[in-house]
Structure formats: structure tokens, C-alpha cells
Structure 1
Amino acid sequence: MQGLKIVLIGYGKMGHVIEKIAQARGHQIVLTIDRGEEALFDDPRFASADVAIEFTAPAMAFDNCLRAIERGIPVVSGTTGWTDRQPELRARCEAGEGTVFWSSNFSIGVNLFLQINRRVAALMQAAPNYHLSMDETHHIHKLDAPSGTAITLAEAILSERPELTGWELSEEPHTGLLPITAHREGEVPGIHTVTYTSEVDRIVLTHEAFGRQGFALGAVLAAEFAHTHQGWLTMDDMLQLG
């Protein structure tokens, strides 16, 4: 693929890792836009871009993505904690008014883990005596809890376990709810664990990220995909895992 001109919306730790990986793959970072620099959306360098990659904060993500698609720039967003605002953007993309590639997690390993989680949840219907719980740990800078990945894992489990009506951020949830505990410690990139416990044994599924590189590489791959595809896009579209 010919090198892309990329805008980074959000230039924190993740943005810097994405920059290095994008450049290593032959792409050019033409502009970075950080908090308080929203005027740069009208910069000619933004208009020249092939795609934007957005990793910011939940309160900023919707406006950032909207600004991009209104200017005709496909945008890849890895910000979580704003799913309530996404239906409007999705409707616009499905109507042909722009391209947004969103994922709660761009790691290839995590997306394989999501598929494993769904399949195990379906298999465990044969053993309803197992108690389910979920635990996730991230760095102290992560603003939302539980993580978007944890919510995605929970939604998959709920779709396969009719006795569960929802999830709850609690170590001791109400009956019929999947308990999720969230920890924020140091610089932990991300650990997600789903546990099935019975009176006689325990089944544990865990994904642990060793750094931000896996997330960043996935985001760059998503940018390459968004450059040649239109509409509301997800990792399932790119990896064809669904």
C-alpha cells in the first residue's frame, strides 16, 4: 500500500506509539491535534489527510469524529466510554455521509480473545452451575470503568446466557447480573479475565497485554482498511471474524 497521510487526534502515550508504527509502515503523520487545539481541524494539513486516528477521552470523541467526517476524512477511533453517542454517527456513516472505524480494542490478540470468549460462553450453557465473574485491570490514566473491552466481553456472554439480564460494576452484584471488577494500577496496559467457578473447579480465560504496541499496530491496520472502505467499520469487518 502507498503511504498514507495520517492525522493523529490525541497525542499522548498511545499517539506517540501509533506515530512510530505508522512511520515504520511507510505512512506520514501530517498533523497532530491535542486537547485545546481544535482549531487545527480547519488547518490545510487536516484537509490533506487520507485518514485520522483518534485516541482521546470519552467527552471529546464524538465531536472529534464528527469534525473528521464533516470534512470528508475517514476516522479510526479507539476511545471508549461514549457508546451512547455512537448511534448518530453510525446512522450517518450507513447513510453514506462518512466513514468511522471504531473498536473498543484494536489488538489482534484481544479480538481473537473476544471470539474465544463468545464460544466458551455458548459451550458453558451446558453447565449452568458455574458462577461467572469478570475482572479487568488498566493503567491509572484510563478514565472509563469498566473498560470498553470488558463491556464487549460482557455483552457477548449475556447474549449466550439467558439467565443473566445484565452486568454490574461490583464484586457482589445482584442475582442475575454479571459482576465486573475494575482496577486502575500503575501503567498496566490491560488485563481481562473471565472466570467460571463451580463447587469443584474453576475455568479461567485471560488476555494480558505486554504494552501498547499491539493496540497501536491494530489502529494503523484499521487506518489502512478505512482508507479503502466506507461506512461504519469494526474489527470484525477487517479481520472477518464474525
Structure 2
Amino acid sequence: MKIALIGYGKMGHEIEKIAVQRGHTVVSIIDVNNREDFESEAFGSADVAIEFSTPASALDNYRKCFAAGVPVVAGTTGWLDHMDEVKEACTKGGQTFFYASNYSLGVNIFFVLNKYLAKIMNNYSDYDVKMEEIHHIHKLDAPSGTAITLAEGIIENVDRKDGWHLETEESDSDIAIRSIREGEVPGIHEIIYESEADTISIKHDAKSRKGFALGAVVAAEFTKGKKGFLGMNDMLNF
């Protein structure tokens, strides 16, 4: 498979390494200094583009991929206010877009576990729920896309919660998400249910970027040849 990489930071390098190990060819690498390559023949020849850039540049990157007719596996978060535009490009424009807030298999298992626990805790109103997420100092958005997905999973299943808020609850119906940026932490997410009697928590702690990069390459393999808006539920069929 021919892969284009958009964003060539630490994640981009890790994705390149894993893609080559799995027998794929990286035909184009686009970073901040060569954005004109979106119009190159090499980029246009890619079966899939894997994008890990910044929230500020992500949407424009997707538009350029669509213009070139190259399917996208999107790993950037912090741009989700524009998701309707991307979905419309898929439904009406015939584009292909795979989005996940987190590409780690372990995190996606954690998503399922989070929803299951939330369904149980819906029956126990003595427990309040909050969340803490820790990432490296280079991460620009807060809370993380993963934390937002976890919060949405709780809101879907806990009747007394209908929104989330960064750092503190604005009302009893909010989930407080504390975001910490320190060192080179790949990603830690913890869901905490607390009552006067005790605390119940579940936690995912990423050891390195490898799990995220592998998941992105596997998602690219899944996306090749498909049309429409895709996600982890399509690929993993949990």
C-alpha cells in the first residue's frame, strides 16, 4: 500500500517505521515546510494519507486531501467543531475519512469498559464522576480527544450527567475533566467515581506512542478501497 504522511513529528516518524515494517511504501511526507506537496503527483498516488498534525492545520489538510482524492486517516484532535463539514464531504462528496480520537487498541477496549461501568453506575446516584488526563507538554489541545470521547460515553449512560467542563464542574450535571501537561507522557486517562464511602476508578496508561502508531497504520489498511465516514467501531466491531 502507498501511504502519505501528513505531520512528521514523533508520531509521524513512528508511523513511518511501522508502515515500512508492515510492507508499505511511504510515497509522500508533508510537514510545515513543504505544504505545496499536497499538489504533487507523489501525494496524489497515495492509497491513504495518515494525518497527525496540529488542531490549527488539520481541517485545511483534510480539504487538501479531499481535493486530491486521497482517503484520510485522521489522528489530530481539537478541530471537532468542523466535523459536520468533513462528514458532508463523505456523504455528498464521495470522500473517505477515518476518524478516531485514539488509535490504540487498548484505549478502544477502555472506551467499551468505560461505557459498561457507566451503565452500572447510573443506578448509584451517591457516586459522582470526574476524570483526569495527563499528556506531554507538546500536546496543544485540552482536554484530549480521548477524554472527550470518554466523557461522551459516560453522558450517554449516566442520566444525571449531560455535559463536561474543563477542570471544574459548573453544575452537578457536569463531568469535571482535569488536564495536566507534563514531561513526555504519552497519555494517561483515569475515570473516578467517588462517594462518601469509597472510590471506584478505571485507568489506561500508555507506555509509548507505538500502540497509537500501529493502530493508525492498521486503520489505513482497513480504509483502503472503502468510501464514506469510518471509525474504530467499523474496524474493530466491538
Deviates further, 84-93 or 203-212? 84-93
Does 2:174 align with 1:177?
A: yes
Q: How many residues align?
A: 238
> RMSD value over aligned CA atoms?
1.0
Q: Which residue among 135, 140, 154 is the counterpart of 2:137?
A: 140
Q: CA deviation at 1:165?
A: 2.3
1:25 aligns to what? 22
Q: Which residue among 170, 183, 186 is the counterpart of 2:183?
A: 186
1:54 aligns to what? 51
Does 2:112 align with 1:112?
A: no
CA contact (8 A) 1:137 1:192 kept: yes
Does 2:80 align with 1:83?
A: yes
Q: Report sequence identity in percent.
A: 52
Q: Which residue among 143, 155, 158 is the counterpart of 2:155?
A: 158
Gaps of 5+ in 1: none
Deviates further, 91-100 or 4-13? 91-100
Q: Which residue among 33, 37, 41 is the counterpart of 2:34?
A: 37
Deviates further, 36-45 or 170-179? 170-179
Q: Which residue among 201, 205, 226 is the counterpart of 1:204?
A: 201
In structure 2, distance between residues paired with 1:202 and 1:162:
20
SS of the residue corresponding to residue 117 of structure 1 reads helix
TM-score normalised by L of structure 2: 0.97
Q: For residues 173-194 of structure 1, what are the alpha-carbon distances to aligned partners after superposition, in whole Å with 9 as ceiling and x for unaligned? A: 4322111100001000000000
Q: For residues 28-76 of structure 1, what are the alpha-carbon distances to aligned partners after superposition, in whole Å with 9 as ceiling and x for unaligned? A: 1111000132100011101111110000011111111111122111110
2:63 aligns to what? 66
TM-score normalised by L of structure 1: 0.96
